[in-house]
Amino acid sequence: MNVVDLSEDLVPLYCVCLEDWSQEMKEVGTRKRDWYEAMRRRGLRVKLALDAAGTAGGMIQYAPIEESFASGKDLYFIFCIWVHGYKVGRGDFRKRGMGKALLQAAEDDARALGAKGMAAWGLALPVWMRASWFRKRGYRVADRDGIRRLLWKPFGSDAEKPRWIKEQKRPPAVPGQVQVTSFVNGWCPAQSIACERAKRACGELGARVTFTEISTADAATLREWGITDGLFIDGKPVRFGPPPRFAKIKRQIERRARRLPGP
């Protein structure tokens, strides 16, 4: 196994999170590529783990925490670490040490860049980006938000603990309309897929349904709302893990539309 910096020829593969076999990823369009091009100028770092045959099986992306959805100083923030675990496509690369190798390489890189520590987000559930996985590797919980954990590993005694950027407000309901609002940052294709499906559903449901997209790739907009990625119907969040199916999103919006008073 070898951990390498992202090369230009592998950017298309990185932009679909190593899932070049996935039809869902085609729904994202250029969103991840656009985010990558903007963020690479703001300090984004990407590394891939290659097996002995040179096949990419894992990836990690991280940037200065000032460019993330957490608040902190002189730290790097891990947006995600991902080892391809599907049998389709390139196959299952889990249980080979790729995740640990990627994390160590990112920490070493951050130290060399002068960072005072590393931060990451994790979930208090046995799914992707498990907080428990980071804790086993020396990370501490710095802040909590529901099932989300903000974790960090200080490199020295002068490192400052990071905090979540808290939600400031939600989209208001609009009388006589169903207002669907999508906050999308671009870093995660799963969130972008949900946005694209919601937009398409709204386009099929007539004039009484309004779709608004808010890009939180802009730091000022992110801090204004305190929401990185999310889908809201009349100000109420739509909870999901994997991207909800198009039909499910459309049904939720339709149900809300049926409750509107007659014209």
**pTM flag (> 0.85):** yes
In this structure, how many other beta carbons lie within 10 angstroms of the beta carbon of residue 117?
A: 25
Distance CA 58, CA 25 (A): 17
Helices 189-203 + 31-40 axis angle, to 10: 130
At residue 29, the pLDDT reads: 92
At residue 261, the pLDDT reads: 86
Tokens of 76: 């790097």
| Residue whose pair of structure tokens reads 């939180």 in the numeric block | 216
Q: At 37, is the secondary structure helix, strand, or coil?
A: helix
Contact 39, 73 (CB under 8 A): no
Counting beta carbons within 10 angstroms of the beta carbon of residue 173, is it exposed (0 to 12), middle (13 to 18) or buried (19 or more)? middle
Distance CA 56, CA 129 (A): 19
Interior CA angle at 207 toward 204 and 208, to 5°?
Answer: 105
At residue 6, the pLDDT reads: 98
Domains of the chain (ranges plus CATH)? Answer: 2-164 (3.40.630.30), 178-258 (3.40.30.10)
Q: In what order do the strands lie in the sheet with 209-215?
A: 209-215, 178-184, 230-233, 236-237
Distance CA 220, CA 232 (A): 20
Q: Chunk the chain into consecutive blocks of 10 residues (it has 263) and report each block's average pLDDT, rounded to whole numbers.
A: 96 96 93 96 97 96 97 97 94 95 98 98 91 97 96 97 96 93 95 95 94 94 95 91 91 93 73
Amino acid (1-letter code) at residue 199:
K
At residue 220, the pLDDT reads: 92
At residue 72, the pLDDT reads: 97
At residue 263, the pLDDT reads: 63
Tokens of 49: 């783990």
